[in-house]
Amino acid sequence: SWSPIPSPEWAGFEALWGASTGEVFAVGLGSSWQSQLWVWSETEWKLLATVDGTWCVDLWGNSPSDIYAACFTLGKFGSPVFFPLAHYDGTRMRPVLIDVPSNRFSRVWSAGPETVYLSPGGVGLMRREDGRWREVAEVNALLAQREMGGILGMVGAGPDDVYAVGNRGLILHFDGEEW
Residues 164-176 pLDDT 10s: 998 888 899 999 9
Is residue 77 over pLDDT 60? no
> What letter would DSSP give residue 80?
E
Q: CB pairs under 8 A, 24+ apart, for 25-28?
A: 25/59, 25/61, 25/64, 25/67, 26/59, 27/56, 27/57, 27/58, 27/59, 27/69, 28/56
pLDDT score at 55:
81
pTM, two decimals, is: 0.85
Neighbours of 103 (CB within 10 A): 15
pLDDT, one tens digit per residue, over 29-60 is: 877 777 889 999 888 999 999 877 778 889 99
Is residue 79 over pLDDT 60? no
Mean pLDDT, the chain, as a whole number? Answer: 83
- Asked whether 166 and 152 are in contact (CB, 8 A), the reply is yes
**Which of 101, 103, 106 minimizes the C-alpha distance to 86?**
106
Q: Which of 67-71, 99-103, 146-150, 170-174 has the lowest mean pLDDT?
A: 99-103
Q: What residues contact residue 77 under an 8 Å CB cut-off, 6+ apart?
A: none
pLDDT confidence tier of residue 16, bands split at 50, 70 and 90: very high
